[in-house]
Structures are given as structure tokens and as C-alpha cells.
Structure 1
Amino acid sequence: MKRKFYLTALAALSATAIGTAYAAKAIENDALAIETAKISLTQAVTVAEQQIGGKASRAEYEKHKGQWIFDVEVVNGKKVMDVKVDPMSGKVIAATEDKADHDDDHDQAD
């Protein structure tokens, strides 16, 4: 009886260890993935705002081309910029104008 208990406990612990290792390896949920970032979302926003000289209107942690990044939308005057910040170094990877977010025709699509 005692042996069955130990075998059952060992099986449960093994399953838990394997499940935990798998979950850590295959992080697809941005809420969980952000734990691996070396900088915070707030720090990424600050870096993006300083790079563009504007104010952030949106920021998220997302997977882009297989790599996790901070994607920050920064508004400077009439320009809307998409700024990608490396979550490990805190450096700007790319900054491109987001022409789709301009409200030039006052339509609801923007």
C-alpha cells in the first residue's frame, strides 16, 4: 500500500515537472512572456517617447517575427510612429511612421 502511494506521488511530481518545463519553453501568452523581459513596459514607453519626442498613445508586449518586443505607438504633432523596443537591452529596434493611424478623413476606420 505504501509502495503504491509513493509510485503515485512520484508520477504526479514527474508530470508536474514535465508540464512546468514545457510551459516555460513554449511561452505564447504575452502576459506570461513579459516575465522574461529585462525592462518594464513603463521603461519601454519612456525610451520610445524620448526617441520620437512625443507621447505614447498605446503600448504592448507582443511577438513580432518570432521575437518578443515592446511595440509602442508614439504621437508627435500630426505624426504617429510605431516604435519597437528590445525587451532585453531597452534600445529602439525600429521606428516607422504609421500612416494607417492618421485621422485625415475623419472616418471611423482609423
Structure 2
Amino acid sequence: MYRYTKLSVLAIAIACAGAAAYAAQGSMENDAEAITKARIPLIQAVNAAEQHANGKASRAEFENSKQGWVYDVEVVSGAKVIDVRVDAEKGAVISAAEDKADHDDDHDK
């Protein structure tokens, strides 16, 4: 009888943990909701990235990162492709790095 009590408590704990994880996932903002709250519009982020990298934007995405919501802008400058991250709240360039091998679209379907 004691063994079934332990199993029941374990099953209840697992169910509660799963329910908490599901509830937390439901409260996360998706891109469409978050971009409406961004202080910086996409066009301003693209302009900042183009000026920073001295080139023309070829692609831009709005995504959640460790820094918070950012615009990830791919800029072509001469023969180089530069990935520029722009803060969606301040419009400041967070980072810029040359994209040696374009693997950024591997997750796209």
C-alpha cells in the first residue's frame, strides 16, 4: 500500500509540473503581439543597421533573444554580408558580425 502512495504522489507532482510549464508557455508573447509594443518601427531598425554596416538590408526579422526583443537585420555591404542586431526599444545597434556562411535561414521552412 505504501508503494502505491509514493507512486500517486510522484504522478501528482509530475502532473503539476507539466501544468505549470504549460501555463508559463501560454503567457509568452509571440512575435505578432510583441512587435505592436515595440517602440522602434522596423523601418527605423533597418535604417540604423544600413548606416552601421554601410550597405543595403536584404532581410530583417523580429525575434526574442537574450537581450530581449530585437530586430535581426542582414545587410549586404560590397561582397560582405553583415548580421546586425538592433534593440527594439532603443533603436541602438547591439551587435554586428560578418556572416561568413549564411546558416541563419536553416530554421526556416
TM-score (norm 2): 0.66
Runs of 4+ in 1 over 4 A off after TM superposition: none
CA contact (8 A) 1:27 1:33 kept: no
Q: Is 1:41 equivalent to 2:6 in the alignment?
A: no
Letter paired with 1:58:
R
- Counterpart residue identity of residue 53, structure 2: I
Q: Who is 1:60 aligned against?
A: 61
Secondary structure of 1:69's match?
strand
Where do 5+ consecutive residues of structure 1 fail to align? 1-21, 103-110
In structure 2, C-alpha distance between the alignment counterparts of 1:77 and 1:86, rounded to whole Å: 25
Q: Secondary structure at the match of 1:89?
A: coil
Deviation digits for residues 45-100 of structure 1, max 9, x if unmatched? 00000111100000010011261100000000111000000011100000011111
- What TM-score do the two structures reach when normalised by structure 1? 0.65
Q: State the 1:26 CA deviation.
A: 2.8
Aligned length: 79
Q: Give the share of equivalent positions with the same residue, in percent.
A: 59
Distance 1:53 1:66 in 2: 24
Give unpaired runs (5+ residues) of structure 2: 1-22, 104-109
Q: Deviations over 1:30-59 (max 9, x none)?
A: 111101210100110000001111000000
Question: Aligned with 1:95: secondary structure?
Answer: strand
Cα RMSD, aligned residues only? 2.1
| 8 Å CA contact retained: 1:72, 1:83 | yes
In the alignment, the residues of structure 2 paired with residue 66 and residue 51 of structure 1 have an alpha-carbon distance, to the nearest angstrom, of 19
